[in-house]
Structure 1
Amino acid sequence: MDPSRRGVLGAALFSVALTIPDWPDVVGRLSAVQSGKARRIGYREVDAVAAMTEKVSELDDQFGGRAARPMAAAFLVNTVVPHLDADAPDDVRKALLSATSDLLYLTGFMAVDEGLQGLAQRYYVKALELAGEADDHLTFCTTLRGMSLQAVDLGHSGQAVRLADAAAAAPPNAGPRMRAFLAGQQAHAYAASGSGYRGEALQFIKEAEVAMERAESRAKAFGSYAPSSLAYHVSQVRYALGDKKGAVESLKESNRLRHSHYRRVSVRYNSLLAERELELGRLEEACATWDKVLDDYPLVQSGSADQKIGNMQALLKPHVRHRAAQAVYERSLSVCA
């Protein structure tokens, strides 16, 4: 991170932080740690790290990795690192390592969204190290699962399978929602590996469906797995196994089940839906879906969203003589100007 930008990033960071309960008091304590005036930290500081992680995750979902990751990076450099160097009881230090691992995982996830794959992997590896030191199996498995998702999106299906299987290797104290979260990624990774793994993909998607039915509690913001997420994985499995029509229906179901309208998430899912609608020859449906993408895209700062818009333009260009396609194509050019 460019040190000359820290003042700007800090201003943005603390304007967001004001939405966290009791933050003004926490800020005072964190500043004291940074300046060397505080010799010990406690659970208040750990809670602040967890609260900031959740808030930055919401911003990422809404505005994209380029908007939110600098806040996370500034917070890591200016606040969390001094925490790790401060004096603390063993239980507090362990909790802090766990909370920091969560934040590192999220920061890696946002780096993936920016298209900074190497940087993302470095964040993920550091998250694994801290989760291991904290004996935090759930964050360790969540991070491996994130690495599997990155691998499958990059076309490295073999590595994606290995990482997904490692993530799902019986994490202690995992509830049904976590089991569904991990099994859904296993299904996606196996399906992406080809028709030879059809049986494994179907087995794991069934496991995810059964676990989701038993799920009770809501997981933390950036690690949550909801019925809409499961429907997305069902779509990915169907598509990889050749059922394009079923894949479209499952993506539509995912959209119907999604409770919150997060712009970056909507750009991602609707772009994928439009691409698959076009593959089925449903040009007008695809154009209508891409119109929704263009409603959200100008407010998102995301490398993956930029890539989706580039894909849209390439796919629509052969159809510009069609009135709807021409309108969407021209609108995309004006949005990107």
Structure 2
Amino acid sequence: MTRRQPNEALARLLAEARWETNRQFAAVVNRVGAEMGLALHYDGSAVTHWLKGITPQKKARPAILEALSRRLGRLVTSAEAGFAAPLLGGPEASDRQTTNPIEGLIDTGRADMDPSRRAVLATSLYAAALPVPIYDDLAKRVQHQTTGQVTRIGAGEVATVRTMTERIADILDEMGGAHARPMAAAFLVNTVAPWLKAGASEAVRSDMLSAASDLVYLTGWMAMYEKAHGLGQRYYVKALELAAAAQDHVTYCRTLRGMALQAANLKHSRRALEFADSAAEAAPASGPRLRAFLTGQQAHGAALVKDRRQAFARLRETEGALAKADNRRDAVGGYDQAAYHFHVSSVLYALGDVPGSVKAMRDSNRVRPAVERQGRAHANGLLAQRQLEMGHLEAACATWNAFLDDYERLSSARADEHFVTMWQHLRPHRANRHVRDLTNRAQEIARCRKV
């Protein structure tokens, strides 16, 4: 046992729990320990030592957390009880804090729910050196630990998580991640995490882990989109762990592909290709839509490292796979013609073909579903910059006006970034009539939004 500062976090929990004495708390810990097969013999003096900052033995901590969870009627994690440092670092910091991925997910989600901590999480560092997580290693990390309560879940709870994930994805598309992500974090902490620790048949438990991994992947995608890259990476790692535990190869590969996109956005070209290749290599025998989803990202990664031959070969594979897919589009991680043309545009731009990238981005917008406001705003933000790069000022102004049509109804850090970039690019051209009209409109929007 090691000495620390007084454990104020544990003191707050005990005050909330309202045991009359420390001795009563110790007795409950001993009883819970017995249920877990542990011979614990704590008394009130042990609790006093914990409050003074002495960390309990590692084997006893699950019993202590379980005793608190039962008393308070919610899941209590190691970090919340003061047995670990606050979760502010990258994925490796999360792993040092707890060996239970569900605890790490709860801590991350609770911090993401708190507006006062969200800004701190948004600046947490992205770990560029994170190795590619191995499926078989992650599958061993999530172990079933019930709360000891009578709660039991079935197929209905799994369906609820799937439905909520689809609804959150719809809100993301229509209104932006700043609205959708806090909802996802709250649902993860308050509903999904307790269900992950509830009693269930093996089949239901596997389905719940899979459904949860899908939601965590989506939450990581939203954090990445909101430029909270350290937080997004941490969600992605948790999604990988849950997917591996569920033996859900599809979500595992889809999450690795999301990590490839994140690395690409941050200009880590080699890492982007490594993640994309790993996602494709780990993919099970799958349908054509998933193959297109993965090979499209490989094409972008190859273009970023200037491997022209591989980039175009992957694009041909993507086009061929998508041609064989049905018309169904998944709400989460779907891939369609709009996504394919966006990848073509990204590949061409990375290889220096700006006119080709502009044409492909127009093709992407032409087939993009009307409800995808956030994706369209991002595409138009990029398109306008590239049009201006070609010297087509009036075309860029028209595209930026289309961007503003969506931006007025979005709450998104990435859209805000495009708005600021628009101002910077237009400043040298203020004498142009089209620019003046556009900036007048943008000024009015900025006054309302305080951008």
Same fold (TM over 0.5): yes
**Percent of aligned positions with the same letter in both sequences?**
48
Moved over 3 A (4+): 1-6, 35-38
Distance 1:112 1:246, change over 3 A: same
* Whole-Å separation in 2 of the counterparts to 1:294 and 1:36: 53
CA-atom RMSD, angstroms? 1.8
- What's 1:115 paired with? 227
For 2:187, the aligned partner's letter is: F
Report the 3-state secondary structure (helix = DSSP H, G, I; strand = E; otherwise coil) of the residue aligned with 1:221: coil
For 1:50, the aligned partner's letter is: R
Paired residue for 1:249, among 354, 359, 363?
359
Report the 3-state secondary structure (helix = DSSP H, G, I; strand = E; otherwise coil) of the residue aligned with 1:94: helix
Distance 1:243 1:3, change over 3 A: closer
- What's 1:266 paired with? 376
Richer in helix (by share): 1
Asked if 1:132 is matched to 2:244, the reply is yes
* Whole-Å separation in 2 of the counterparts to 1:3 and 1:271: 27
Query: What pairs up with 1:1-337 in 2 under 5 angstroms?
Result: 1=110, 39-194=151-306, 197-216=307-326, 218-337=328-447
Report the 3-state secondary structure (helix = DSSP H, G, I; strand = E; otherwise coil) of the residue aligned with 1:50: helix
* 5+ residue gaps, structure 1: 7-34
Larger Rg, first or second structure (1 or 2): 2
8 Å contact 2:254–2:279 — kept in the other structure? yes
8 Å contact 2:269–2:304 — kept in the other structure? yes
For 1:128, the aligned partner's letter is: L
8 Å contact 1:62–1:265 — kept in the other structure? no
Aligned length: 307
8 Å contact 1:317–1:329 — kept in the other structure? no
For 1:126, the aligned partner's letter is: K
8 Å contact 2:214–2:239 — kept in the other structure? yes
* Whole-Å separation in 1 of the counterparts to 2:271 and 2:413: 23
* Whole-Å separation in 2 of the counterparts to 1:260 and 1:322: 31
Aligned-pair CA distance for 1:245: 0.9
Report the 3-state secondary structure (helix = DSSP H, G, I; strand = E; otherwise coil) of the residue aligned with 2:408: helix
Deviation string for 1:180-224 (max 9, x for gaps)? 000000001111122xx1111111111101111111262421211
* Whole-Å separation in 2 of the counterparts to 1:280 and 1:147: 31
8 Å contact 1:177–1:217 — kept in the other structure? no
Report the 3-state secondary structure (helix = DSSP H, G, I; strand = E; otherwise coil) of the residue aligned with 2:394: helix
Report the 3-state secondary structure (helix = DSSP H, G, I; strand = E; otherwise coil) of the residue aligned with 2:391: coil
8 Å contact 2:253–2:282 — kept in the other structure? no
Moved more, 325-334 or 278-287: 325-334
Deviation string for 1:137-174 (max 9, x for gaps)? 00000000000001101111110000000001151131
Report the 3-state secondary structure (helix = DSSP H, G, I; strand = E; otherwise coil) of the residue aligned with 2:332: helix
Aligned-pair CA distance for 1:2: 6.3
Report the 3-state secondary structure (helix = DSSP H, G, I; strand = E; otherwise coil) of the residue aligned with 1:39: coil
* Whole-Å separation in 1 of the counterparts to 2:366 and 2:187: 35
